[in-house]
Structures are given as structure tokens and as C-alpha cells.
Amino acid sequence: MRVVIAEDAALMREGLIRLLEDRGHQVPAAVADGDALLAAVAEHRPDVAVVDIRMPPTHTDEGLRAALELRRRHPGTGVLVFSQYIETRYAAQLLAGGAAGVGYLLKDRVADVAEFIDALGRVAAGGTALDPEVVGQLLRAGRHTQGLATLTRREREVLALMAEGRSNAGIAAALVVSGGAVEKHVASIFGKLGLPPSEGDNRRVLAVLRYLAR
């Protein structure tokens, strides 16, 4: 993969560079603010950008706003937000309208390097990678959306796992149920949310996320 990094903390930035390069990936640019991120992506056309939320000058939401602008200018570039914070409003905007190739992971909750690299690869390939806590906050933020209130507890669990990017087999393993049971839950979820099922697992996840982000 070709990866551009936007992270203002020098130690974290250098650590990400070393981590990726040691595994054979290219890092043509590693920058410390949103404007430099947009310039680097325009110049290097990476497969994916890793973006922190809080960067100069105000250290509030510059990274997410830059990520939104990156998605507008370069819709084919994956964006993995990698932060200590959850910004639900901007996360919903990031996921809305053609959200293929989007991830949002919390730094403190990534268990190991392999997990991070796997998530980055999914995003670069046009998939999704969302931390369960991010999914939970999106679900809570959208709890009044028509259809969500009709989901059972188990269907909400399945929906959250779908949004994390899990396949039916992965959901079945996580919930210790059969594949057939997962298929029934997925069909029920789409029926209640008024979303047509899709043969593509990624398109299915993105459809649900777009609905939640409305």
C-alpha cells in the first residue's frame, strides 16, 4: 500500500512510518496538519490516508474536516481516522454518501499491529473498519431514526458487527450462532430499515452506515 500519514505527534508519526515500512508498505509523506495532508494526497495519490482528528492550529477537529475535504476531492482514496476521540457528527458525515473506503479506529483500543494493518488494508481496498465504540455512538446518535427502534437486541448486535466490517461468518463466530441465523437477522434488519439486501458484503455495510448517518 501507499500510505500518507497526518499526525501532529512526532513520536506517533514516526512510529507509524516505521511500522508500515517494516511491513513493505510505502509512506511517501507524513505530515502534521490538515492543509499539508490535502497537498500530500494531491501530490502522491496514495491508496489510503491515516488521519488524526486533533491537529494544528486549534487541536479540535481539523483532522476530520480535512478528511471530509479529502473525500470530496479524492473519492478513490481510503481514509482511516485513527484517534483517541470520537466525533459523532463528523463521523456520520464521513460515512454518508459513498462511504466506501472509510475507517475510524480508536488508538487505545487497537489490540495489536496485525489488527491495525488488517483494518488499513480493508479501507485501502474500499472496505470499512469501524471501532465498536464508534459504531455504538453512531447507533445511539441515530436511535430516533425511523426503523432502528424496531430492531431487536440481537439485530442491533448484528448491525453493529456488520458496521465493523465483519462478514456473515465473522458475525456468526462472534455471536456463537449459525451462519443461517445470521442470514435471517441480516434479512430482517434490511427489511425493517427499508434497505434492499446486496450481494456485496461491503455495499451492505455501507448502506446501513449511510442510513444511520442521515
Which residue(s) pair with 30 in the sheet? 5
The reported pTM is 0.73
Assign domain 142-212 to its CATH architecture.
Orthogonal Bundle (1.10)
Tens-binned pLDDT, residue by residue, of the chain (214 aa): 999 999 999 999 999 999 999 999 999 999 999 999 999 999 999 999 999 988 888 888 888 889 999 999 998 899 999 988 887 777 777 776 555 788 889 988 787 888 899 989 989 998 888 887 877 777 666 544 556 678 888 988 888 787 777 788 989 999 999 999 999 998 888 777 776 655 455 456 555 665 555 4
C-alpha cell at 92: 456520520
Q: What top-level class would CATH report for the domain 2-131?
A: alpha beta
Range(s) for CATH 1.10.10.10 in the chain?
142-212
Query: To 10 degrees, what angle do helices 153-163 and 168-175 make?
Result: 130
Range(s) for CATH 3.40.50.2300 in the chain?
2-131
Name the nearest CA neighbour of 7 among 48, 62, 46, 47: 62
114 conformational bin, left if phi > 0, alpha if psi -120 to 50, beta if neither: alpha
